Amino acid sequence: DQQVKQNSPSLSVQEGRISILNCDYTNSMFDYFLWYKKYPAEGPTFLISISSIKDKNEDGRFTVFLNKSAKHLSLHIVPSQPGDSAVYFCAALNRNSGAGSYQLTFGKGTKLSVIP
Amino acid sequence: GAGVSQSPSNKVTEKGKDVELRCDPISGHTALYWYRQSLGQGLEFLIYFQGNSAPDKSGLPSDRFSAERTGGSVSTLTIQRTQQEDSAVYLCASSPLRGSYNEQFFGPGTRLTVL
């Protein structure tokens, strides 16, 4: 049973436009969410995160929005650049789960292609 | 500075053989994690080491999987009697300390193919 879902396996966007990557979760105990970016043959790299006490976190071209009532978060990239082409993973954490508070639960990823 | 390194980068083995995957975490990071990513799946937690505490092995899929971390640094993930379903990319990550959440830094992974 997947607790973190990224329902779009791929997304294509024109350079300069906005990319919106979506993520849904089912576990209401998750209280911290992260986005990781992964290039081929490399490990995932941390991109941006958001705590459940917030509904928005912005870092340069990247903004993450959290809708707790809908158990939905999204990553906005604007403007999109060809170098943003990668697989993006959504991950969630329950920081109050004691021994499991470090276990990231990942979605399957969305492959973003930014077309020049 | 040096990031998390893993070796080998690729490993092809025959069904039934044992394999060892190595992870060198970032120097000074006390926490070390192993994940695996099977084809078309997200990353799946396997095991967690924190300092000298007993590791959390709750994510290991079977008793054929084991891991150790020597001297609080290098870790080895061992898979005995490999099966085809073990084929995946095995990723190691490290983070500075426990307590509040710290970002996990990932290595490039080892792609394991079991024929």
Q: Phi and psi at residue A23, in whole multiples of 5°?
A: -150, 135
**pLDDT for B82:** 97
Q: Residue A2: is its pLDDT beyond 90?
A: no
By the CB < 8 Å criterion, does B106 face chain A?
yes
3-state secondary structure B33-93: EEEEECCCCCEEEEEEEECCCCCECCCCCCCCEEEEEHHHCCEEEEECCCCHHHCEEEEEE
Q: Residue B100: is its pLDDT beyond 80?
A: no
Reported as a single tens digit per residue, the pLDDT across A9-51 is 999 999 999 999 999 999 999 999 999 999 988 899 999 999 9
Residues in a beta bridge with B67 = B77
**pLDDT for B96:** 84
Which of A36, A35, A42 is CA-nearest to residue A57? A35
Reported as a single tens digit per residue, the pLDDT across B3-54 is 999 999 999 999 999 999 999 999 988 889 999 999 888 889 999 998 878 8
For the segment B79-91, the average pLDDT, to the nearest whole number, is: 96
Among chain B residues, CA nearest to A5: B42
The chain-wide mean pLDDT, for chain A, equals: 93
Q: Using a CB-CB distance cutoff of 8 angstroms, which residues of chain A are in contact with residue B103?
A: 34, 46, 49
Q: Which of B48, B91, B101 sits opposite A43 (nearest CB)?
A: B91
C-beta of residue B93 within 8 angstroms of C-beta of residue B5: no
